[in-house]
A and B are shown apart, each in its own frame.
Chain A
């Protein structure tokens, strides 16, 4: 019986207008996005080639990861050059987009964005009328008048509906991934493939959350128009409201100086020490040492506060599956906030190693986190959150459907 329900659900979806429009939209978007981000990756790679430091230059720079094609995250920030000055000061190179302010006003349209925002909406649109819609047309009453049990009908609907939604998504991603990885510029090793696999798995989990939520709303309402309204507004709350407002709220809970304030303080340290050298006869080594240690103190204090800000922000935004998914996906792809923190720690260590050396310098080495490290460093918690949301929404939908009045 379960099989025929699944089959009916898939066939029903395949011939619907909803299916055609959602599939056309998501396929085009995925293909365009991956192509656009691939070209962007090529530009970043070209830039990296130009900026390769010479052996006597104290410059830390990491190559862009091919996984940034799928989830750009903070890769632009990560791939800037960090030049170590003679007094230990770190000069950060500009991002390629820094000159075009338009990039700052809009969001990067990578696969992560498409899954997080657009496909999550599509998942809800697939599920919002699965129960209430069938009730309206009267087929739900007919189905239940047979010997089919409600739990089986529910599970069949979920599996059938979700398969018909997620399979085209997989095909589109697979197709565009094959096209992109055929390029000699995209060098994916085994670890990268595993990370991409994990990313797709977490995307499916994330989409399942919204699918189950749509189903839950459908089971709680009796008209598909009401179900649609509630679905759309919950989507807006979970995808935009909680993650984005939570981030601003965190800033108010953690006392942290602005970057502008730090810049003012940093330039003052420099000028003060030069003044001391000229007017009070401090020697150069002493001055340079003072500048370095004062800057170190400033950075250490800021980084402590920033780490606290990140953890508070993550704790607040975890109420939304979109935030948990963003953190998990970007960390997996090596373009997340944890990677950024790791890189900055590595740059500081490199600075301590080379700032007072001359001649040939050791090259900067940095490896992006492995899957194991990502899962250990908060990734597993985010994955568990997605699973928990899934269970919560599915179990609630199941419970609501058991009591649903089909008349």
Chain B
């Protein structure tokens, strides 16, 4: 009997106008989205390759030791799921003069739009009259008059309704997947397809949740016209209002001091204040040397410290070198002076860095707290939970930033010791090698972007996925309770 009700439910949905409209829309939007986003992905990939080549070419010409750090910037390739999900648009938020603000005004359209807006709306349109419609037509009374338990009817309605609802979704996904698999520009490996399958599973959890919500509302309403309005009211709240409001509410519940002000403070600490402190420590060194070395110090001072402290003319620099070569005592003083001045600046750098790190750490703690409040608040909405699951699972969400930073850090652990070794080798080979000399680093380790392991991604998304499942259970139980007491007359 269960299968008979399921197939009846499926058939009646499939023959309905909403099914045809939903199917046509889903297929058109999915195919248009995938085609346009794939082209966008190809452009991004070309841009990424160009950036890497630019960097390589530049390093082969201008890699002077002191500035290599500024030239080694890890470039992030476009995410492999870009043909489906854009996630966080980067172009608008890079803090550059040339930020592209268009995505702020018109958020990009992707697979998430199809699931969160189109499919959730379609799910509610399929279920809002599942009970009320049948009551109004009088068929519910006929069905109940048979020996079928109400629980079975509800379950069959849920299974049949969700199955018919998933037909347009799966068909549109298949069209998208086919386009991706035949496009030579997109090379998805096994893990990408596994993520894609999980994404479909998460989407099904989300879509069934909205079907159940519609079903629940239907079991608590007498008329379809009331039921649809309540459904749309809830839909607007859960999809359009709560996720967008919560970050702003959290920013007011937990305030972070002006980011610009903190940035300036840090900059001041590491720049002006560091210089003042460095000069102060250096002057102490000067005072100490004046009492320790007396006459030869005065001579050294008259030679403008050979360029080791303050400004110095090329003549005095040369004269200092000659004097040091001729007099071992003078040379010992110059070496000790260089050492102590270096130590003074290292100390100043360390002190200021510690102060700056404390401020930055304090800011990061506050930011993390605000983020946590916002994320917890948005979890009231299934839409936000689904967005977290979908974007984090496909490496296009909030976690992808942290993961990239971690990868970049790991690369740094490989690159900096390599650079140190290279500098030491160069100094051994050429004694005149200094901070502005060219260093050949063509054999350097290259930054390679590796996808985060699927297990780690799953660990991160499971709590949000769990909330989606919980929503499903709550709505089903509520629908069940409502239907048990439903007056079918």
* B60 at interface, CB cutoff 8 A: no
Identify which of residues 202-260 in chain B touch chain A, using a CB-to-CB cut-off of 8 Å. Answer: 224-226, 228-230, 232-233, 236-237, 240-241, 243-252, 255-256, 258-260
* A275 at interface, CB cutoff 8 A: yes
* A90 at interface, CB cutoff 8 A: yes
* Complex alpha-carbon distance, A36 and B247, angstroms: 10
Q: Which of B33, B96, B226, B391 is close to A105, meaning CB atoms less than 8 Å apart?
A: B391
Q: How far is the CB of B364 from chain A (nearest CB, A)?
A: 8
Is the pair A267, B397 in contact by a Cβ cutoff of 8 Å? no
Q: Which of A37, A99, A105 is close to B398, meaning CB atoms less than 8 Å apart?
A: A105
What does the 1/0 interface line of A266-278 toward B look like (CB < 8 Å)? 0110111011001
* Complex alpha-carbon distance, A46 and B117, angstroms: 37
Q: Which of B37, B248, B258 is close to A46, meaning CB atoms less than 8 Å apart?
A: B258
Is the pair A252, B367 in contact by a Cβ cutoff of 8 Å? no
Is the pair B104, A244 in contact by a Cβ cutoff of 8 Å? no
* A304 at interface, CB cutoff 8 A: no
Is the pair A261, B62 in contact by a Cβ cutoff of 8 Å? no
* Complex alpha-carbon distance, A126 and B88, angstroms: 35
Identify which of residues 240-272 in chain A touch chain B, using a CB-to-CB cut-off of 8 Å. Answer: 240-241, 243-252, 257-265, 267-268, 270-272
Known: A107-B107, A229-B125. A340 touches B117 (CB 8 A): no
Residue of A nearest to B43 (CB): A252
* Complex alpha-carbon distance, A118 and B90, angstroms: 27
Known: A98-B259, A337-B105. A21 touches B229 (CB 8 A): yes
Identify which of residues 327-377 in chain A touch chain B, using a CB-to-CB cut-off of 8 Å. Answer: 327, 330, 336-337, 340, 344, 347
Is the pair A100, B374 in contact by a Cβ cutoff of 8 Å? yes
Max chain B C-beta neighbours (<10 A), residue from A32, A97, A224:
A97
Q: Which of B63-71, B176-184, B301-309 contacts A (4 or more CB under 8 A)?
A: B63-71
Known: A32-B245, A93-B263, A275-B62. A260 touches B51 (CB 8 A): yes
Q: Which of B17-25, B346-354, B454-462, B464-472 contacts A (4 or more CB under 8 A)?
A: B17-25
**Which residues in A have their C-beta under 8 angstroms from that of B229?**
17-18, 21-22, 125
* B103 at interface, CB cutoff 8 A: yes
Q: Which of B39, B100, B225, B232 is close to A121, meaning CB atoms less than 8 Å apart?
A: B232
Is the pair B241, A326 in contact by a Cβ cutoff of 8 Å? no
**Which residues in B have their C-beta under 8 angstroms from that of A40?**
248, 251-252
Known: A25-B236, A257-B47. A105 touches B98 (CB 8 A): no
Identify which of residues 1-56 in chain A touch chain B, using a CB-to-CB cut-off of 8 Å. Answer: 17-18, 21-22, 25, 29, 32-33, 36-37, 39-40, 43, 46-47, 50-51
Is the pair A92, B95 in contact by a Cβ cutoff of 8 Å? yes
* A73 at interface, CB cutoff 8 A: yes
Q: How far is the CB of A213 from chain B (nearest CB, A)?
A: 15
Is the pair A313, B102 in contact by a Cβ cutoff of 8 Å? yes
* B450 at interface, CB cutoff 8 A: no
**Which residues in A have their C-beta under 8 angstroms from that of B109?**
240-241, 244-245, 248
* Complex alpha-carbon distance, A203 and B401, angstroms: 38
Residue of B nearest to A17 (CB): B226
* Complex alpha-carbon distance, A77 and B202, angstroms: 35
Is the pair B101, A77 in contact by a Cβ cutoff of 8 Å? yes
Residue of A nearest to B121 (CB): A232
Q: How far is the CB of B29 from chain A (nearest CB, A)?
A: 6
Residue of B nearest to A103 (CB): B247
Q: Interface size (B, Cβ < 8 Å)? A: 99
* B94 at interface, CB cutoff 8 A: yes
Is the pair A21, B230 in contact by a Cβ cutoff of 8 Å? yes
* Complex alpha-carbon distance, A113 and B246, angstroms: 15
**Which residues in A have their C-beta under 8 angstroms from that of B17?**
225-226, 229
* B436 at interface, CB cutoff 8 A: yes
Is the pair B378, A102 in contact by a Cβ cutoff of 8 Å? yes
Known: A36-B248, A92-B97, A228-B228. A101 touches B236 (CB 8 A): no
Known: A94-B95, A102-B247. A47 touches B260 (CB 8 A): yes
Residue of A nearest to B133 (CB): A225
Is the pair A261, B94 in contact by a Cβ cutoff of 8 Å? no
Max chain B C-beta neighbours (<10 A), residue from A40, A275, A299:
A275
Q: How far is the CB of B461 from chain A (nearest CB, A)?
A: 14
What does the 1/0 interface line of A198-234 toward B look like (CB < 8 Å)? 0000000000000000000000000011101110110
What does the 1/0 interface line of B383-407 toward A look like (CB < 8 Å)? 0100100010000011001000000
Is the pair B370, A100 in contact by a Cβ cutoff of 8 Å? yes
Is the pair B117, A240 in contact by a Cβ cutoff of 8 Å? yes
Is the pair A261, B33 in contact by a Cβ cutoff of 8 Å? no
Q: Which of B21, B64, B67 is close to A233, meaning CB atoms less than 8 Å apart?
A: B21
**Which residues in A have their C-beta under 8 angstroms from that of B37?**
248
Q: Which of A225, A263, A268, A327 is close to B96, meaning CB atoms less than 8 Å apart?
A: A263
Is the pair A244, B108 in contact by a Cβ cutoff of 8 Å? yes
**Which residues in A have their C-beta under 8 angstroms from that of B108?**
244, 247-248
* Complex alpha-carbon distance, A278 and B62, angstroms: 11
Q: How far is the CB of B226 from chain A (nearest CB, A)?
A: 5
* Complex alpha-carbon distance, A265 and B55, angstroms: 9
Q: Which of B64, B241, B260, B436 is close to A109, meaning CB atoms less than 8 Å apart?
A: B241
Q: Which of A121, A264, A310 is close to B54, meaning CB atoms less than 8 Å apart?
A: A264
* B73 at interface, CB cutoff 8 A: yes
* B75 at interface, CB cutoff 8 A: yes
**Which residues in B have their C-beta under 8 angstroms from that of A39?**
248, 252
* Complex alpha-carbon distance, A316 and B22, angstroms: 24
**Which residues in B have their C-beta under 8 angstroms from that of A326?**
105-106
* A406 at interface, CB cutoff 8 A: no
* A145 at interface, CB cutoff 8 A: no
Q: How far is the CB of A202 from chain B (nearest CB, A)?
A: 16
* A177 at interface, CB cutoff 8 A: no
Known: A228-B228, A249-B36, A258-B44. A82 touches B97 (CB 8 A): yes
Is the pair B97, A90 in contact by a Cβ cutoff of 8 Å? yes
Is the pair A317, B106 in contact by a Cβ cutoff of 8 Å? yes
**Which residues in A have their C-beta under 8 angstroms from that of B237?**
25
Known: A101-B398, A241-B109. A74 touches B101 (CB 8 A): yes
Identify which of residues 409-460 in chain B touch chain A, using a CB-to-CB cut-off of 8 Å. Answer: 436
Is the pair A51, B260 in contact by a Cβ cutoff of 8 Å? yes
Identify which of residues 100-155 in chain A touch chain B, using a CB-to-CB cut-off of 8 Å. Answer: 100-109, 113, 117-118, 121, 125, 129
Q: Which of A93, A229, A247 is close to B21, meaning CB atoms less than 8 Å apart?
A: A229
Is the pair A278, B436 in contact by a Cβ cutoff of 8 Å? yes
Is the pair B260, A94 in contact by a Cβ cutoff of 8 Å? yes
* A69 at interface, CB cutoff 8 A: no
**Which residues in B have their C-beta under 8 angstroms from that of A272?**
58, 62
Query: Could you jot down 15 A-B contacts, CB within 8 Å?
Result: A29-B241, A33-B245, A77-B101, A94-B260, A109-B244, A121-B232, A233-B118, A244-B113, A247-B103, A248-B36, A248-B109, A259-B100, A271-B62, A278-B64, A330-B105
Q: A125-B232, A228-B228, A248-B108 are in contact. List 20 more A-B contacts (CB 8 A).
A: A51-B260, A93-B95, A96-B256, A99-B256, A99-B259, A101-B88, A103-B247, A105-B88, A109-B248, A121-B232, A225-B17, A228-B125, A230-B21, A232-B125, A248-B37, A259-B91, A274-B67, A275-B62, A299-B98, A323-B106
Residues of B participating in the A interface, judged by any CB pair closer than 8 Å = 17-18, 21-22, 25, 29, 32-33, 36-37, 39-40, 43-44, 47, 50-51, 54-55, 58, 62, 64, 67, 70-71, 73, 75, 87-109, 113, 117-118, 121, 125, 129, 224-226, 228-230, 232-233, 236-237, 240-241, 243-252, 255-256, 258-261, 263, 363, 367, 370-371, 374-375, 378, 384, 387, 391, 397-398, 401, 436
Q: Which 10 A-B pairs have the closest CB atoms?
A: A244-B109, A109-B244, A247-B106, A229-B18, A104-B88, A93-B260, A99-B367, A245-B109, A102-B247, A106-B244
